[in-house]
Structure formats: structure tokens, C-alpha cells
Copies of this chain bind each other. A is one copy, B any other.
Amino acid sequence: MTTLSGHGRVNDLESGRQRSTMRDVASLAGVSVKTVSRVINAEPGVSEELLARVRRAAEQLDYRPDFSASNLRRADRRTSTMGLMVEDVANEFSSAVHAGVEDAARERGIAVLTASIAGDASRERDAVRALASRRVDGLIVVPSGAADSSVWSEGGVGIPIVFVDRAPRGVAADCVLTNNNDGTRAGMAHLLDRGHRRIAFLGGVARLDTAQERYEGFADALAAAGIPVRPDWVVRDLRNPDDASAAVRTILASDDRPTAIFAAQNLLSMGAFRALREAGVNRSIALVGFDDFALADMLDPAVTVVAQDPRTIGRRAAELLFERMADGSDSPRRLVVPSRLIVRESSLIPPPPA
């Protein structure tokens, strides 16, 4: 076995191979199991002497309490474990949310189980089942939009859930969101202020509220400026950077080019930037993206973004979940973590003189 044995520990032989139980500790300390239980759980009412004896025995046997056994018998049935379901743990936004969730969870001694669902409905179902079977105390979910909301009613039964980034339609639940519409309007206002009138829009999976709200923010901003939406400059349902690059190439192929592009998500901004650069127009067509991303400020030109704060979003979601688990009152809460416009260079490109 690669199982590590205790290098240089005194009692290698007794403790090394076999996991010791409370009973082992009890018999070594010469007390009852219940006394050991009291010591391990820091319950009051154990004499100093026994306390010391039990501790020593536990140390000697390298005793580790068994969460599942404890949980099984315990009245509240808490596992001190929560689940986090995201699109893809390797994605910059998801992993920042994850980090925020971990921060909050660690403070409370709660462990985090993660599952990437990759926009796949069946994986979404499987993940819920897997987490439910492991009796997580709660769930934080960035819904993929692939599965309909029934997953959350059938599957989530009995587990408190907090949704992040977007709530599935028709399910009233706690959620932590970004102000998508306002954020997009702020980005658009900035472009309009700089004289842009011909602006293209690159949007994500339209079924998601997030994407929908950002599109509406775009449309609202144009409407407020008295500019009609040009359907040929609006491409939605884009799923990855390559989709976005292709969309930009198509738009650029026309004689009638926009002077600026709004990309509604970080992967789309990256894809758009790539296409602009490959076409050699990265310094002549303006770009604003929703979501910040690493090195956005190091590109040429540095990309202006409407930045979300995914780590804070994750932390708030976890805190909301813990409150939920504790009180369980019946009014779903909706938290908005504001976005902010970070003006860099890509939006400062003026429209060409007509």
C-alpha cells in the first residue's frame, strides 16, 4: 500500500494500519465510550483527570472521529458538508465562486463537494443525486439552464439550495445575482457617450435569465438613445470563445460594420478579441465585455469590462445558505452583488468619422 505509515511515531504498530474507534480509545483510557464521546465533542461535565486520560489515549491511537457514524445517530443529522454545482470548475468565473464558497465554509468547518455539470441535463441530475445521497446539508448551484427546473423540485427535495448567477425559472428560491441589466446599460452608456451608434451584441445561451437580462440591458440602452436594434449585429446563444470568434468574423465580413462590440460574457469577450485581432481591427473597433478576466488589462488594447465580483458572490451565497440552514424561515431572499465598469483602452477607441 502507498498508504503512508507514521514515520517515526512511537506507536506505529498499534496505530499504523487499523483505524481506531471510540471503543479503542475508551478501553485504552479505561473509561466508557460515552465519556470519550463527551471529550471529543467538548461536552461539559468531564473531570480533569478523565479528560486528560482520554485525550492522551486518542492521541496515542491517532483517533479520528467518524463523521458518518456521528451524523447517522445525531439528532440534527448534519454532515457538515455542502455541495457546489457549477458549469465547469476550470472556468475562471466558476472557480472564483468556488473560492468564495470555500472561504465561508472553512470558517464553519464545512467541507465542500464540487460537481461540474458542463451544461448537460443528465449530469445535472446525476450530480444532484450523488450529493443528495451523501446527505449534504445544503447546495449552491449555478444552474446550467440545460435541465428544466423540475430537477430542483424533484431532486432538491429536502435540501436547502441557493442559486448563483441566475435562478431557474418558476422556482422560488434564494439566490445571489449580479445586476445584469444595469451593468450592461452602464457599459453601453459608456460606449454611447463616446459617440458609438453602431454597436453589435454577442450573447450567451438565451434561455438563461442572465443572458436574457444582459440582452435586455443592451436593447434598453439602445432604445433610450433612440437607436434601433440591428438584428444582423445581434448574435445570441453563443456557447464558447470559438462561437464568439465566428460570430465576429461573420459580422466583419459585411460591408456594413459596427464600430463597437458588446460581449455579454468573459469567454465571449476573449473570443471576440481573438477575432478582432486576427482581422487586424483590434485597435479600430471598440470592445466592452461583461465579466472581467485575467490579463484583460494586458491585452492590446486593454479590454474594458463590466466586472462582476465572483469571489464575493460565492461567499455571500454560502453565507445565505448557512443562514437558511439555521433558521429556515420561508421567504426566499435575493441578493444582488453589484458590478462595476472598469474602463480600460478598448472602449476608448472612437467611432471613425462618418
Contact = CB atoms under 8 A, between A and B. Distances in A.
B311 A298 contact: no
Contact of A1 (B90, B95, B160): B160
Given A116-B102, A130-B109, A158-B17, A69 B72 contact: yes
Nearest to A4: B156
A89 interface: yes
Interface stretch (A132-140, A204-212, A226-234, A335-343): A132-140
A38 interface: no
Interface residues of A, number: 82
Contacts of A91: 95
Given A3-B160, A72-B69, A89-B89, A114 B98 contact: yes
Nearest to A136: B111
Interface string A21-62: 000000000000000000000000000000000000000001
Contacts of A64: 129, 132-133
Interface of A: 1-9, 15-17, 19, 62, 64-69, 71-72, 79, 81, 88-92, 95-96, 98-99, 102, 106, 109, 111-116, 123, 126, 129-135, 150, 152-154, 156-162, 170-171, 173-174, 270, 273-274, 277, 293-295, 298-300, 311, 324, 328-330, 332
A277 B299 CA distance: 10
Contacts of A329: 1
A62 B157 CA distance: 9
B153 A4 contact: yes
A135 B69 CA distance: 10
A157 B2 contact: no
14 contacts: A2-B160, A7-B150, A9-B153, A62-B154, A62-B157, A64-B129, A67-B68, A68-B72, A68-B134, A102-B116, A106-B115, A112-B115, A295-B299, A299-B300
A126 to B, nearest CB: 8
Contacts of A134: 67-68, 81, 111
Contact of A90 (B69, B96, B130): B96
Given A95-B89, A99-B88, A131 B111 contact: yes
A9 to B, nearest CB: 7
Interface centre among A17, A95, A123 (most CB of B within 10 A): A95
Contact of A153 (B5, B81, B123, B160): B5
Nearest to A128: B64
A157 B6 contact: yes
Given A150-B7, A277-B298, A2 B174 contact: yes
A15 B132 CA distance: 15
Nearest to A154: B6
A60 to B, nearest CB: 13
A223 B329 CA distance: 69
A272 B330 CA distance: 52
A310 to B, nearest CB: 9
A98 B159 CA distance: 25
Contacts of A154: 6, 9, 62
A319 to B, nearest CB: 14
A157 B295 contact: no
B161 A2 contact: yes
A4 B152 contact: yes
